[in-house]
Every structure is written in structure tokens, then in C-alpha cells.
Structure 1
Amino acid sequence: MDKSFWKIFALSSAVKILLIPAPHSTDFEVHRNWLAITHSLPINKWYVDETSQWTLDYPPFFAYFERMLAYVAYYVDKEMLNLHKLNYNTIATIYFQRCSVILMDFLYAIGVYRCLRVSNVPLKSQQYLATASLLLFNVGLLFIDHIHFQYNGFLFGILLLSISYMLEERYVLSAFIFAILLNFKHIFLYIAPAYAIYLLKFYCLAKGRNKFICITKLLVFGLIPFVISFAPFHNQMEQVLKRLFPFKRGLTHAYWAPNFWALYNVGDKVAAKLLGITTKTGPTTSSGLVKEFAPLVLPNITPRTTFVLTLLSMLPIMIKLLAYTPLRDAKATFLRAIVICSCSAFMFGWHVHEKAILMSLIPLW
């Protein structure tokens, strides 16, 4: 166990503790409400409840995680678990939620540590210490998790664990962990094509392996997390999927991600201004948080359009990974595929949050 790495982690944790009193965004209330939902309601009501506008829209594993946090929260301030106390943010609630994020970041540190270990970077070298510092003090995570307020750190920790096992050629374990990740936050579906192609070529179709057994193992261990996650909701799958994929929220988030659709929106506004077209009644590009909108001049964009463009932008790296990557370059190309797939989704995806760029930046290190 490298002491220098854990010293950097301890220092990063101290910085996060200093950020506890920092202002938080509406996502603080989102997660407080999810604590209340999972604690106060029977499981068949979790994805139905609309007491607050911040309805539960993460996969079931994250809901179970919130339920476990609620057991502890009850002894800190049980009123934070009152479903009808909207925008409840006492000092005890703030410290509990902030500290829960900091503690969960230990999983992120483990993921970083394992990735550094399998990358064969010499311990205590300048490269090792610099990479560890950049990842553990990642400014994006500090802002999004420890000021804005979310739980992205431990999710990226799970991703990095999965990547580290893939690089160690422990393919089934890597796929199993990635499946668990998808059941915590489905946005990681963006990089699933990289996993699928890599496992197909370098595990299932590798020389000396029984293709049927390999595919069976991946299917079994890949599906186990989904069965455990969704089994309690088997009678509500349509409702759960509507929550997980809310296409009615519009092409862009209220705070535009700096992607292709931000340029598209600007182009539409400029064209409307030049043509003297006034804003129509109804939602606009700046109300994408909860509603769809129609451009004033340019063609309307549908979720299907963004899906096709995203897949097309991923296609070159997928072809390279499948058809033109020798075994000696496989691991490096896999990492590039993860970065490019996530970047493609960021550039062309539907209703992209600005924080999604972390899916490209963290594996890029």
C-alpha cells in the first residue's frame, strides 16, 4: 500500500471538509427528497411519487443506496426524511449529506489507486504523484459533488475499478462491475459500446477460448445486477423506464452543455433575429430543464436524431477497435474508445448536462 497516495487522498478529503459550508444547488434537495422517498414510502411507490418536483429518476441500485443512507439519517435528524418538508436544510442535514459524499469518495480513491497500479507507473515517480493529485483533487468533482452537491465520485470509482480489472484481463469481473455501475447511474450507457466491442473481440473471440462459454459467462454475470436491481419493479417497468429516460425534458438542459446543440440553439436564435421572427408561445431553449421546445427557424431535433448522430460519431473508433486493433494496442485503444464514446455522447446526446464531460476527462488521465 503506497503511503504517498493515501496522504494525497487524506489531504483532498480535508479540502472537501472545508467545503461543507459552501452554498449548494437544487441537487441537495433532490437527494434529500430521495432519502425521504425511499425511507417513507413502500418500494412500489418510489418511482410513482410526485410530492416534490424532484422525482426519483436514477436506477434502482442508487435508490437502494439512498435507502441505506436514510437508516443513518434517521438518527441524525429524522425530519430530513419527512416527505412533505420540502427544501429542508438544517445544519445537521447539510453536514450529514456533505459527509456522506466525502465518505463515499473512498471508493473513488480505490478506483484511482488500482488504475495507477495496473498502468505500471513507477511508485513515487513524478508522473505517479501528479496523476494521483490531478485525479484526487479533480476540480470538476470538487465543484459538482462538494459544492453543487451530487454523488459522482463513488460512481467514477466503480468505473475505474471496472477499467482496472479490464486492463488486468479479468474480463468477466470487469463486465460484472460495469453492469453494477449501470444500475447506479444509467448515463454510463454512453460507454457501453466500447465495453461490448472490446469484450467481444479480446475475450469472446480470442484464440483458445470457447466462444459459447465466454458469451454465456458475460450474459450471466452481466444480467445478475439487472435482475437484482429491477426485480422488485417488474410490474412497473414502463413507469420506471419513463423516469430513467425522460425525453420530454427537451433537447438541451436549462444550462446548456457546450456541445453541438448549444451551437445549434445559438444558430437558431441568430437566424430568428435576422429574419425578424419573434419567440413563439411556449418553452424556449432556456427552459430545457423540464420541457421540450421547438426551434424558431432550424428543423426540430428529436431524440432519435441525437441517438443516430451519437452512434455515427462513435462508429470510427468502434470499427478501429473491432477490425484494426492488434492485441499489443488493445488496452490503449480501449481507453481511447471510452473517452471518444463519452465525448460523442456529450457532443450529440439528448438533454446533456454540462457535468457529463467528466466521463471523458477522468478516464483521459
Structure 2
Amino acid sequence: MSEVMLWKEQKNLSYSTDFEVHRNWLAITHNLPLSQWYYEATSEWTLDYPPFFAWFEYVLSHIAKYFDPQMLVVENLNYASRATIFFQRLSVIFTDTLFIYAVHECCRCINGKRAAKDILEKPTFILAVLLLWNFGLLIVDHIHFQYNGFLFGLMLLSVARLCQKRYLEGALLFAVLLHFKHIYMYVAPAYGIYLLRSYCFTANNADGSLKWRSFSFLHVTLLGLIVCLVSALSLGPFLVLGQLPQVISRLFPFKRGLCHAYWAPNFWALYNAMDKALTILGLKCNFLDGTKIPKASMTGGLVQEFQHTVLPSVTPLATLICTFIAILPSVFCLWFKPQGPRGFLQCLVLCALSSFMFGWHVHEKAILLAILPLSLLSIQRAKDAGIYLILATTGHFSLFPLLFTTPELPIKILLMLLFTVYSFSSLKSLFRREKPLLNWLETIYLIQLVPLEIFCEIIFPLTPWKQHFPFVPLLLTSVYCALGITYAWLKLYISVLTERTPVRQKAE
């Protein structure tokens, strides 16, 4: 059963399916031996995060037993006592302390070039608010339910350490992060290239080029040891047990299909929509046989593999190739047109966005992997601030379907409105001496999100189409937001590719 369908069955409950996912993982790691963690399948929400996150759940479970031992019974599916809800919510709040510390460290790395008399207009203050008050992170972790704040804290802290030239610490933090949640592989190329260029080459020439005589084998060895030791600590026990293939199969479930039940607003959402449009056109023109077309294919709310009707069906290998091609220019720019930490952040955001655009079975929440680091760039240049406003507004709006009940409607609209107004006003104030952050076409596009929300939340439920086409609002939201996210991705890429390399490069 899909996430969306299960939510509809549990409208009276104050938690999402991810709440039950993590409760189940608490029970699995608390009661079962290590050898059964990645085989247990009593619940459909099986353990599918890397081992470090499993150990994280194991540690939490030994605190959870003092709140309500019944939540740790594997067979207690969908168990949600008041004590369970309190503990789960409290655990997210507590682990967010790492995110707060990471934001503090990132703010220390920002050189405020613009003097501001008022602290509210200082770049570091604006950055702190954009990160700590991020609308998407707030609803995904604290209204929906996940531990993204803790994980993004690790990522931002690793970014801060690299900006501070504490390369080994940054590499260690990122290696640990990968074994907490493997989605951060999206940005691994940016880390790898930046560490190779900035840490393994000990000196740059005046023109920014590198000489192999400045290559440090010691530094490469140290980085390799960090990666190997962290991987051995995480995967070693399962390798000894002969269960590594089983762990890998859980981490990369390719049978789940190209898209999630709710299409992430990326290239494949546009591809699917085009296939649907061509199918309808083909049926009307009698080019297609209606009896051979699966009913509600790809829009039935199920997480499984589907075949496209008109356009070629997409395989995991095809998405991997598309993703590789998409990130390649950004990696080349990081190597051949180094811009220091800012160039690293640009590459990181582009790697995250490219993987979001073309990856296999991407979740809509993965857009935060690009929005949060782009916050660090948004306070440095007006051009990046404009791209941030487009991506953040569109990406956050695409998360609206996560909160679908009537009581949540005013909450998500108010929170989104407050964050968006602050983002626009603060960045506009920061760059008030420069040209407008958005042009008229971009402004019109963002304004159209308002009638789209009115149609999806108010008008559509009153129409007879609701019974026969329940996923139309999801489809419209996904496709419309995909246009904005694709535009932001292209605009950022063009900005990076056309950016001039400084005449002289200082040693990184």
C-alpha cells in the first residue's frame, strides 16, 4: 500500500507512516539480534537505512523502553500510545541540537562583506533564520516525522569543516553521514573532487592549475583510511555474517519503480505526464488500443514498477546514466574552475539537484538536500539569492501533499507564508542596491502557486472528478513544481558554467 493511500485511511491519527516506520525500527533493533535486522519483515516498513542509522535506532530504543515498552514489540504494528508519540517527537527535537550547532558553525564561515547597522540585516543572521526556520525541514521532521535535522546537521557540519580547511574532520563527518543515510551519495562527487583538489594537491600555481609534484600521497592515504575504517565499522559485521548482499538489496530496492507514489517534481514527473498526455491523445485519435493500457498506470498511488505506454520505459541503468551526465559539468567546473568553498557549495547543490532530477525512485523530500546548502550561497550573491527563492518556494510547495488533512491545511499555509515572506524580504533587503532578484516571468510563475493550491484543496474536492481521479491534485502539483525546479536547476548551471575563473588562485 502506498504512503498516500495509508494516510487517507488514517486521517484521524496525528502521525504519518514514517512515524510507524521508525517505531518498527526501534522494535527490530531492540529485540532481534544483529543477524536478523535486515531480514525481519513482519511489517511492510522493513529496515532500509544503512547500519549506523540502525545503531542509532538501537540506542534510542534503550531510552524508549522507559516511556512505553509496548512500542518495542515487533508485532505491535501501528502502535501509537501517548507515551510513544511523546518519545518519538521528543527524540527528533533533542537530536536537532546537532543541526543547531552545525548552523552556528556555518554562520562562522560566512564573511559578511556587507555592513549592516541592524543585526536583522546581517548575512549571518539571515542565514541562521533561513536554515533554522526552514519550512520544509520543519514540516517533514516535526509535523510529518523523520530525523532529517540530525542528518542535515552532520552534512552542514562537514561543509563547515571543509570551509574552515579542517579537511579530515569534514571527510570523516561525511563518511559517517553516508552510513547513516545513503541518499547523501547524491553529493559525494562534490566532496570527492573538492577534497582531491584542495587537500591532496598541496599547492596551486598562479593560474589555478595543478602540478603532480604537489600531489600528497600521505593526504590521499589519510582520506582512504577514513573511508575504509568508517565503512568497515558500519558494514564489517554484516560482511562477516555473509549478509552484505541482503543489506545492499534493502538499501537499493530497485523493484519499487521509477517514481514514488507521489511523483517527486523532477524530470521523470514531466516525462510521465508527457506519456499520459500522449496516451490520451492516442486513444482519442484511435492510435492506441484502450484494452491494452493498464488502468491508472503510474497514478494509482502504488509503489511498484510500471511500463510507459507511448514513451520508452525507463530502467535504473538509464536513470544512473542520466544522473552521471547531469552532474559531470558541475564536477568539471569544480576541478578546472575552482572558486574555493563557494565553488564546492555550487557543485554540491548541482549534484543534489541533478540526482533529484534524474534519480531512480526519488522522494519529494529529497529536494531539501539542495535547498539547505543553497541557503549558504543565497546570502553571498544576488544571482544565487534569486535562484534560491525560486527553488525554495517551489520545492517547499511540492511538500504540501505530505500534510493533507483539513486541520493541517491552515498550519502549512501559514508556516509556508511566513517563511516565504521572510525569505523574500530579507534577501531583497540584503541586495537592495542591486537589480531585482526575480524577473517578471519568474514572479508570475510563483504567484500561480496560489490558484493551484486553491484548486487542489478547495475546488477539486467539490467536483465529481474526485472519486474517479483522486490523484489529479498530486499530479498537477508535481508537474507544475517540476517546471520551477527544472528552471532553477538550469539557471544555476548556466550561472556556474558562465562564471569567470579568477585570474590568480590562492592556495586552497
Query: TM-score with structure 1 length normalisation?
Result: 0.90
Does residue 239 (structure 1) correspond to residue 253 (structure 2)? The answer is no
* Aligned position for 1:172: 168
**Conserved 8 A contact 2:259-2:303:** no
> Which sits farther off after the overlay, 236-245 or 284-293?
284-293
Residue 85 of structure 1 aligns to a residue whose secondary structure is coil
Whole-Å Cα distance in 2 between the matches of residues 345 and 85 of structure 1?
Answer: 36
Matches within 5 A, 1:295-310: 295-310=308-323
* Aligned position for 1:5: none
Superposed displacement of residue 254, structure 1: 0.4
Paired positions, count: 342
Residue 76 of structure 1 aligns to a residue whose secondary structure is coil
> Which sits farther off after the overlay, 230-239 or 77-86?
230-239
Does residue 323 (structure 1) correspond to residue 336 (structure 2)? The answer is yes
Query: TM-score with structure 2 length normalisation?
Result: 0.65
Superposed displacement of residue 128, structure 1: 2.2
- After superposition, the Cα gap between the structure-2 partners of 1:288 and 1:250, relative to the gap in structure 1 and judged at 3 Å, is farther
Whole-Å Cα distance in 2 between the matches of residues 260 and 68 of structure 1?
Answer: 39
The Cα RMSD (Å) is: 1.8
**Conserved 8 A contact 2:154-2:173:** yes
Superposed displacement of residue 70, structure 1: 0.3
Does residue 195 (structure 1) correspond to residue 191 (structure 2)? The answer is yes
Does residue 141 (structure 1) correspond to residue 141 (structure 2)? The answer is no
Does residue 60 (structure 1) correspond to residue 51 (structure 2)? The answer is yes
How far does the alpha carbon of each residue in 1:281-319 deviate from its partner, in whole angstroms, 9 at most, with x for none? 488313575311101111010111111111111111111
- Residue ranges of structure 2 left out of the alignment (5+ in a row): 1-11, 204-212, 376-508
Does residue 222 (structure 1) correspond to residue 235 (structure 2)? The answer is no
* Aligned position for 1:47: 38
**Conserved 8 A contact 1:254-1:288:** yes
- After superposition, the Cα gap between the structure-2 partners of 1:22 and 1:134, relative to the gap in structure 1 and judged at 3 Å, is farther
> Which sits farther off after the overlay, 21-30 or 218-227?
21-30
How far does the alpha carbon of each residue in 1:315-356 deviate from its partner, in whole angstroms, 9 at most, with x for none? 11111111122xxx2211100000000000111111110000
Matches within 5 A, 1:1-365: 23-121=14-112, 124=119, 126=121, 127-207=123-203, 211-234=216-239, 235-276=242-283, 277=288, 278=290, 280-281=293-294, 284-286=297-299, 290-325=303-338, 329-365=339-375
**Conserved 8 A contact 2:20-2:79:** yes
How far does the alpha carbon of each residue in 1:177-219 deviate from its partner, in whole angstroms, 9 at most, with x for none? 1000000000000000001111111111232855210110000
Residue 254 of structure 1 aligns to a residue whose secondary structure is coil
**Conserved 8 A contact 2:263-2:269:** yes
Whole-Å Cα distance in 1 between the matches of residues 15 and 64 of structure 2?
Answer: 19
Residue 165 of structure 1 aligns to a residue whose secondary structure is helix
- After superposition, the Cα gap between the structure-2 partners of 1:139 and 1:195, relative to the gap in structure 1 and judged at 3 Å, is same
Which is greater in Rg? 2
The one-letter amino acid paired with 1:113 is: H
The one-letter amino acid paired with 2:321 is: V
**Conserved 8 A contact 1:251-1:288:** no
**Conserved 8 A contact 2:259-2:361:** yes
Whole-Å Cα distance in 2 between the matches of residues 62 and 336 of structure 1?
Answer: 28
**Conserved 8 A contact 1:282-1:293:** no
Whole-Å Cα distance in 1 between the matches of residues 129 and 15 of structure 2?
Answer: 25
Residue 125 of structure 2 aligns to a residue whose secondary structure is helix
* Aligned position for 2:496: none
Identity score, percent: 50
Whole-Å Cα distance in 2 between the matches of residues 168 and 74 of structure 1?
Answer: 41
* Aligned position for 1:4: none
Whole-Å Cα distance in 2 between the matches of residues 318 and 146 of structure 1?
Answer: 34
Whole-Å Cα distance in 1 between the matches of residues 357 and 143 of structure 2?
Answer: 25
Whole-Å Cα distance in 2 between the matches of residues 65 and 52 of structure 1?
Answer: 20
